[in-house]
Structure 1
Amino acid sequence: MSDNGQRTQRGIKRVWNARKNDISSTHRNSLILEPGPGHFEEHDPFLLLAEDWFGRGSFDVHPHRGIETVTYVMEGRLEHYDNKSGGKDELLAGDAQWMTAGRGVIHKEDPAEGETVHSLQLWVNLPSGEKMTEPRYQNLRAANMPVREEPGAKIRIFSGESGGVKTPTVNVVPVTMVEFRLEPGVTVKQDLPGGYNGFFFVLEGEGRFGREGVKGTERQALMLGPGEEGLPSEVTITADTPLRALLYAGQPLREPIAARGPFVMNTEEQIRQAYQDYRDGKFV
């Protein structure tokens, strides 16, 4: 890597298939990023990515602390209730919500009556100094989503930037989240800070990713190889068929993780305190 503005070309270090699981008669899911020790270090700052197909009543009211959740609705209408933002809202296909749980949120995500929702939900870890930050909601509407367009390519930018097109999304931890829709034979490059961890998830079609042109097909995830901390990098994507793929990338925290249920903190004592605060009605 030279200092003349040239970017390090990122490779792909691992590819895996995302399996579907039957949870109930109204709920199927797929854990694309699985939580737990070992996984946390590789995925940092991301904790999990879950794909869900679910009907009304699959998720009840529940709390969160110490994380951000990023919910992308791909099909259906998702009703959202929480105890912080003043009531209910609705996410439509193509919309996303960036929820900073911080010190504590109680919420519920439920499909509209008669609907089946297909969604992706990412959990982003919060740094130790921001675990108890004030909760915040950002609804990212499809109609207002920044888009980078090139011949045969349409790139929607949920967070961060792509090819100089930026979003107003506010991050605690810097995160790039972009969706690529490419026609066959089209190649695009995505710039990233060299220190970011990241991965692709292929929603539809087939393509080649990274420096070596590693093949990725529908329902496969591809983990980026390392860049150089403090220096720019980029990753190349080429569509072999009509391709739709998501890229999630972010700045790792490299901090201790204690996780149990809906809470992610730095120590077991903080986890116990989170449960106690929830029981004591302090998530208000």
Structure 2
Amino acid sequence: MDFNKKYNNNMQRNIKRTWKVILKEHNDKHTSGLVLPPENWKEFDPFLLMAEDKFKKNAFDFHPHRGMETVTYIINGELQHTDNKGGKGTLHSGDVQWMTAGNGIIHLEEPAGNTTVHSLQLWVNLPQDKKMTSPRYQDILSSDAPLRKEEGVIYRVFSGNSANVISPTKNHAPISMVEISIEAEHTAIQDLSSDSNGFIYVLEGTGIFGANLVVAEKGDVLLLDSPIQDSEKSEIVIKAENTLKVLFFAGKPLEEPIVAKGPFVMNTEDEIKQAYADFRSGKF
């Protein structure tokens, strides 16, 4: 059956636009590129930014966060995390770390030994009434994440759901994060609520995405089109031209004011000033 005729219906999302991540070497310890550029608050809501990083030991120092969550996916390497709230963990390729900064946390992420870590880090906004919640740290190992399996497709659910497979990861804002591995010539269908924003990052391979049949390859970002208003549910269809691996993210917009400066994301300028004052006075 023709791909377009089979899947192009009212529930299917189009791809709004795509772009490629450009990595830039900052020094001999750190190379990075933007997956989601910052300050596109309305278009990406509840997602703030996402960076792809390749880094060695001492590329970063201990640093603070407040008012948001960091979600780190390890593409390659071994990452060691520690923070001043007692959070500690070691992540390997395919693992995820979900850290809620809440009212304030100071942390450090470093590669093990003399190695390089290749990672993706997403910043997720916290709802206004959760900005000052207590910090929380969750490691979600690839081997522990719930799986949804179909012919030629494996959905690894790190957060939220894929069809009826639900992750136990705790969220302050409902976020779906699914790693989808698709064999050549097979098709995946990932669901999301009709009022959610979403995007896809291609980790490996080449595929055809969305009802408007957009071709994308490794290193491409695909932003899903505007939420569907006349249906409770929607879907994104992905067909693999060759072996394909992608990360899928979706979340309902918070539709709240955002003021961001450095590592802090709050709702007002006064709250940002207070975050800096609290950090400098040792209240973190």
Counterpart in the other structure of 2:159: 159
Counterpart in the other structure of 1:3: none
Q: Which residues in structure 2 correspond to 1:143-222 (within 5 Å)?
A: 143-222=143-222
TM-score, with normalisation over the residues of structure 2?
0.94
Q: Which amino acid aligns with 1:114?
A: N
Which 5+ residue runs of structure 2 have no aligned equivalent? Answer: 1-8
Counting matched residue pairs gives 275
Instruction: Find out whether 1:277 has 2:278 as its counterpart.
Output: yes
- Secondary structure of 1:184's partner? coil
Instruction: Find out whether 1:82 has 2:80 as its counterpart.
Output: no
State the identity %: 51
Which 5+ residue runs of structure 1 have no aligned equivalent? Answer: 1-5
What is the distance in 1 between the residues matched to 2:168 and 2:87? 24
- CA offset digits 1:193-238 (Å, max 9, x no partner): 0010011111111101111111111111110012335711111010
* 8 A Cα contact 1:194 1:226, kept in partner: no
Q: Which amino acid aligns with 2:12?
A: Q
Counterpart in the other structure of 1:239: 240
Q: Kindly tell me: are residues 260 and 216 of structure 1, through their superposed partners in 2, closer, same or farther at Cα, counting changes over 3 Å?
A: same
* 8 A Cα contact 2:157 2:166, kept in partner: yes
How far has the Cα of 1:51 moved from its partner?
0.7
Counterpart in the other structure of 2:6: none
Counterpart in the other structure of 2:19: 16
- Secondary structure of 1:143's partner? coil
- Secondary structure of 1:142's partner? coil
Superposition misfits of 4+ residues, deviation over 6 angstroms: none
* 8 A Cα contact 1:7 1:232, kept in partner: no
Q: Kindly tell me: are residues 260 and 228 of structure 1, through their superposed partners in 2, closer, same or farther at Cα, counting changes over 3 Å?
A: same
Q: Which amino acid aligns with 2:256?
A: E
- CA offset digits 1:80-108 (Å, max 9, x no partner): 11011x25321122211111100000000
How far has the Cα of 1:163 moved from its partner?
2.4
Q: 1:28 aligns with which of 23, 31, 34?
A: 31
- Secondary structure of 2:143's partner? helix
What is the distance in 1 between the residues matched to 2:142 and 2:187? 24
* 8 A Cα contact 2:184 2:242, kept in partner: yes
* 8 A Cα contact 1:147 1:157, kept in partner: yes
Counterpart in the other structure of 1:52: 53
How far has the Cα of 1:149 moved from its partner?
1.2
- Secondary structure of 1:233's partner? strand
Q: Which amino acid aligns with 2:170?
A: V
- CA offset digits 1:60-118 (Å, max 9, x no partner): 0000000000011121111111011x253211222111111000000000111111101
What is the distance in 1 between the residues matched to 2:69 and 2:87? 19
